[in-house]
Amino acid sequence: MLTTEVPRPPAVLLDTFFDPSNDLTGLSLYTGDDNALMPTPRSLDESRPYVTLTFAQSLDAKIAGKGGKQLILSGSESMAMTHWMRRMHDAIMVGIGTALNDDPQLNTRRLPPLPAEHSHKYHLPRPVVLDTNLRLSSNCKLLKNYKAGNGRRPWIVTIAPRTDIGWWNNRRTVLEEAGVQIIEVESNDGQVHIPALLRKLRELGVRSLMVEGGARVIQSFFNESQAKVFDSVIVTVAPTFVGEDGVGYGANISGGSVQNLKHVQSALFGRDIVVVLESKEV
């Protein structure tokens, strides 16, 4: 039977996201249907997705090296845990800073192999990029994977054009022809308005969203004061120091949202500690 054949996600994730009664295995395989949903973390709010804020950091709270150099902070065990988490969300989001710097794939390729007789793949989350200036490269891995049938169509969330409509329309056409779906939401000071973004994603059927960063996006979620915008925070802490030249996310955190976080569990994955916090009801 499928439920015994498919490898199970780590207990810490099942505990965090699902009711104990929820049997999710066997349901979350990718059949090639770009619109198919997956079992999804319990949602407390029907007006927006369940939001998991997650990233890997060093002991000195850096998420990247000097000048934004991408660092592999997670060891293989916690990296696999992150890929399990990716499988458990309808969508996965990064800012354009990360998309340009890292050219990420945001897929689930580090999971244990499925039994040979399976014709399907692990479920893949919808990649979403916050990009107010339509800077995403039409040659990025997200688009290559989509075209090769190894990823869902990427969505860009942007705001209304502010200047040079001709340039904007041209850029929009280039990206759409490359396979991107472009979604406009309201702006907040020239950036995507986070509560409006979440409402829009929910309207489009996204019931769970994993926010992977980078630094500015993490700050925006932590600092959002108009509404509650995340439900859980899952941080991988790697036993390493990056030093003061690295990229941090904590310097400007001031919102009440961080004070409302409650520790749920810490678990060891190889040499890394994964810390799970939940946002308390306010």
Ligand X SMILES: Nc1nc(O)c(N)c(N[C@@H]2O[C@H](COP(=O)(O)O)[C@@H](O)[C@H]2O)n1
Contact partner at residue 106 from ligand X, ligand NDP, none, CB < 5 to 8 Å by partner kind: ligand X
Q: How far, in Å, CA of 87 to CA of 114, rounded?
A: 13
Peptide bond into 214 cis (omega under 30): yes
Separation of alpha carbons 203 and 180, rounded Å:
18
Q: Could you say whether residue 128 binds ligand X (CB under 6 A)? A: no
For residues 28 and 82, which CB has a smaller minimum distance to ligand X in the complex?
Answer: 82
Nearer to ligand X, 126 or 228 (CB): 126
| Nearest partner of 159 among 180, 130, 137, judged by Cα | 130
Beta strands 191-192; 91-95: pairing state? unpaired
Q: Is 80 in the site for ligand X (CB under 6 A)?
A: no
Supply φ then ψ for residue 28, to 5 degrees: -110, 55
Binds ligand X (CB under 6 A): choice among 13, 29, 38, 56: 56
Shortest approach of ligand X to residue 167 CB, angstroms? 27
Nearer to ligand NDP, 24 or 185 (CB): 185
Among 10, 27, 100, 105, binds ligand X (CB under 6 A): 105
H or E stretch covering 220: helix 215-223
Nearer to ligand NDP, 56 or 209 (CB): 56
SS3 call for 13: helix
98 binds ligand X (CB under 6 A): yes
Nearest approach, Cβ of 252 to ligand NDP (angstroms)?
A: 11
What letter represents residue 31's amino acid? T
Angle formed at CA 18 by CA 15 and CA 23, multiple of 5 degrees: 110
How far apart are the C-alpha atoms of 256 and 279, rounded to whole Å? 11
Q: Annotate each residue in 11-50 with x if it binds ligand X (CB under 6 A) or - if it does not, as one string.
A: ----------------------------------------
Residue 57 binds ligand X (CB under 6 A): no
CB of 25 or CB of 70, closer to ligand X: 70
Binder of residue 105, out of ligand NDP, ligand X, none (CB less than 5 to 8 A by kind): ligand X
Residue 127 interaction partner, one of ligand X, ligand NDP, none, beta carbon < 5-8 Å per kind: none
Q: Which stretch binds ligand X (CB under 6 A): 9-17, 101-109, 186-194, 225-233?
A: 101-109
Determine, following the binding rule CB under 6 A, whether residue 282 of this chain makes contact with ligand X.
no
Using CB under 6 A as the binding rule, whether residue 237 contacts ligand X is answered as no
Which does residue 217 bind out of ligand NDP, ligand X, none, counting CB within 5 to 8 angstroms by kind? Answer: ligand NDP
**94 contacts ligand X (rule: CB under 6 A):** yes
The residues with which 62 forms a beta bridge, in sequence order, are: 248
Is the distance from CB of 27 to CB of 36 less than 8 angstroms? no
CA distance 182 to 154: 9
Q: Which of 46, 115, 126, 143 is CA-nearest to residue 87?
A: 126
Q: How far apart are alpha carbons 217 and 247 in whole angstroms?
A: 13
Q: How far apart are CA 260 and CA 99, in angstroms?
A: 30
CB of 228 to ligand X, least distance (A): 23
Residues engaged in binding ligand X (CB under 6 A): 56, 70-74, 79, 82, 94, 98, 102, 104-107, 212-213, 236
